[in-house]
Amino acid sequence: MNKRRVAITGVGVLAGPGVGAADFWKGLAVDPGAGHHDVKDWDPEPWIPLREHRRLDRFTQFALVAADEAITQAGTLTADPNRVAVSVATGIGGLFSLEELIFGAYQDDGRVSPLLIPMMMCNAAGAAISIKYGFGGPTTTQVVACAAGAQAISDAMRAIQWGYADAAMAGGSEAGIRKPTEAGFAAARALSPTLTARPFSADRDGMVLGEGAAILLLEEMEMARERGATILAELAGAASTADAYHVTAPHPEGAGAERAVRLALEDAGIEPEEVAYVNAHGTGTELNDRTEGGVFARVFGDRQPPLSSIKGATGHALGASGAIEAAASVLAITNEELPANIGTVAVDPEIPLTNLVLEPTPWKPGPVVSSSFGFGGHNTVLVISPPPV
């Protein structure tokens, strides 16, 4: 059986750099300075009425707004709504609501809202999108730490390729900039004490937190063409592996990550020398950056494509990060420009990367590798190509 091709026809994204794809893209070129990268002055009311958004956790609000942008850009779908999948990942879920539940439960009166459980549950964002648009296809929530957003997109791609769905809303959402999250990453020695992300830099000292959401609208290629949709890019391949090594540290040689990259290229039918850009995971931690740099040096040899991490601009949005980076990869194709590796002046000499993008750079779009790696040893890699001619 031949796999069906998958078109990307809509992109919705919001994160620290901006709300909406246009402002987000502009914000990727701006150094945000020190601090966690939240969505400033967030107000969901332009998209979600007050009565509704009061019943939704912040991460679900983010997902609905990103979905609205993606589906508006894509235009009217011709797919049967019961064959539209929804695949929306998160790492933590409704943390704001979870804190409220815990706080309320320990008060003398023990009063908590009856809505808190559906607000905090990890599948709330995917369920909200399914309900709003009447999409009755498989609706799933991937929770594989920082690989979750990419995994959600990969799973949705497979559903379309193998005929279980004809279209999908796929991505991730996270609103985890809270004291417990910050304290936990600090205790794990992953958080930057200066609260400045400098991926692959000689002076990097850890990650900073981000938040936001990205949703891609995926369609079976011929269906998209027949309805006259503007095809932004093609989701050409993906792969997932496990390190089977440690719950937080990556495999020291990056064995699982390297397998994921090579398998994703094989799945897409692309040779390493055809890759035109890598949107790297690049968290700014000592272990991730050194391991990931070694992986790409081995995969691409002395023909390394341009590479950058956007986490210097976005922070690390945990379970949403892979989806946000996939959105950035699509926008790099449509804008014919590579995003800069914000915060880095000089690459760590122990990291064998030779083509780091230090400022926004015009390019001729080609196949993009977008990599995501998560605690637990989860590795997910996407291959996104320019639209077919």
Q: 36, 37, 251, 316: which one is catalytic?
A: 316
Domain boundaries, the chain: 6-374
Q: What pLDDT, in 10s, does the model give residues 376-388?
A: 999 999 999 999 9
- Provide the pLDDT for residue 1: 58
What band does 158 get if pLDDT is binned at 50, 70 and 90? very high
Three-state secondary structure of the chain:
CCCCCEEEEEEEEEECCEECHHHHHHHCCCCCCCCCECCCCCCCCCCCCHHHHCCCCHHHHHHHHHHHHHHHHHCCCCCCHHHEEEEEECCCCCHHHHHHHHHHHCCCCCCCCCCHHHHHCCCHHHHHHHHHHCCCCCEECCCCHHHHHHHHHHHHHHHHHCCCCCEEEEEEEECCCCHHHHHHHHHCCCECCCCCCCCCECCCCCECEECEEEEEEEEEHHHHHHCCCCCCEEEEEEEEEECCCCCCCCCCCCHHHHHHHHHHHHHHCCCHHHCCEEECCCCCCHHHHHHHHHHHHHHHCCCCCCEECCHHHHCECHHHHHHHHHHHHHHHHHHCEECCCCCCCCECCCCCCCCECCCCEECCCCCEEEEEEECCCEEEEEEEECCCC
pLDDT of 13 over the 90 cut: yes
- Provide the pLDDT for residue 110: 67
Q: 36, 146, 251, 378: which one is catalytic?
A: 146
pLDDT of 22 over the 70 cut: yes
Query: Which option is the CATH number for 6-374: 3.40.47.10, 3.40.1010.10, 3.40.50.720, 3.40.50.1010?
Result: 3.40.47.10
146 is catalytic: yes
316 is catalytic: yes
Q: 36, 37, 53, 281: which one is catalytic?
A: 281
- Provide the pLDDT for residue 249: 86
- Provide the pLDDT for residue 97: 87
- Entry pTM: 0.96
pLDDT of 109 over the 80 cut: no
Stretch 88-100: mean pLDDT = 92
Q: What pLDDT, in 10s, does the model give residues 44-61?
A: 999 999 989 989 999 999
Average pLDDT, the chain: 95
